[in-house]
């Protein structure tokens, strides 16, 4: 009997992830018009440093500082019984979102349930002119009619596969990897 082997495939290298973030920042700039109305809101955990990366890139491109917020959606989730107990982070939205173009930033979109919770949580901070969604990786398998406005990489996956985003700020490296279940 052979040992179980789990396959991990690099989807985006550090350089590819950097280029993807640069492209996404450019798309936000192009589609937003008035950058003074844009607020990037990262969804914990990896959406927060991703939103900061995007804001830095927008500042490099346009010389405009875009506010960045952090949103914890723990109490807005409908699947706490499935994901287990979590310690909530502190949401930090630096401006009233009323009349703003609010870009929710997440690392991976899967079923859409996280984003449903984020939409509800966002409305506690004002009534945005519009809410857009930016996802670094779209892996499919939506359970709700939610689709990102900005997508870094569309990656069709099997439901039992895992997509892991590594960001320098949290993990000491930048990469996106796909893990497959062990094969006998």
pLDDT tens, residue by residue, 48-65: 999 999 999 999 999 999
pTM for the full model? 0.92
pLDDT > 60? residue 3: no
Residue among 178, 174, 177 nearest 53 (CA): 174
Query: Listing from the earlier edge strand, what are the strands of the sheet with 38-43?
Result: 68-71, 38-43, 101-109, 130-138, 150-154
Confidence of residue 88 (pLDDT cuts 50, 70, 90): confident
The pLDDT value recorded for residue 87 is 77
User: Kindly report the CA angle at 161 between 46 and 21, in degrees rounded to 5?
Assistant: 35
Is residue 135 within 8 Å of 165, Cβ to Cβ? Answer: no
Q: For residues 79 and 148, which has the higher predicted lDDT (pLDDT)?
A: 148
Reported as a pLDDT band with limits 50, 70 and 90, residue 184 is low
- How far apart CA 122 and CA 29 sit, in angstroms, is 21
pLDDT of residue 83: 63
Q: What is the pLDDT of residue 183?
A: 62
What is the pLDDT, as a whole number, of residue 75?
84
Lowest mean pLDDT among 22-36, 57-71, 85-99, 142-156: 85-99
Which tops the pLDDT comparison, 78 or 184?
78
């Amino acid at each position: 009997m052979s040992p179980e082997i789990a396959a991990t495939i690099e989807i985006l290298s550090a350089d590819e992830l950097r280029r993807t973030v640069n492209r996404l920042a450019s798309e936000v700039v192009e589609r937003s018009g008035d950058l003074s109305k844009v607020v990037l809101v990262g969804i914990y955990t990896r959406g927060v440093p991703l939103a900061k990366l995007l804001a830095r890139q927008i500042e490099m491109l346009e010389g405009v500082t875009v506010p960045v917020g952090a949103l914890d959606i723990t109490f807005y989730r409908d699947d706490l019984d499935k994901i287990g107990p979590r310690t909530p982070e502190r949401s930090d939205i630096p401006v009233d979102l009323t009349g703003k173009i609010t870009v929710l930033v997440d690392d991976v979109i899967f079923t859409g349930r996280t984003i449903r919770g984020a939409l509800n949580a966002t409305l506690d901070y004002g009534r945005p002119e519009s809410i857009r969604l930016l996802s670094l990786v779209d892996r499919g398998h939506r359970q709700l009619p939610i689709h990102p406005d900005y997508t870094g990489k569309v990656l069709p996956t099997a439901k039992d596969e895992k997509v892991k985003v590594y960001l320098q700020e949290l993990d000491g490296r930048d990469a996106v990897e796909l893990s497959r279940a062990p094969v006998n």
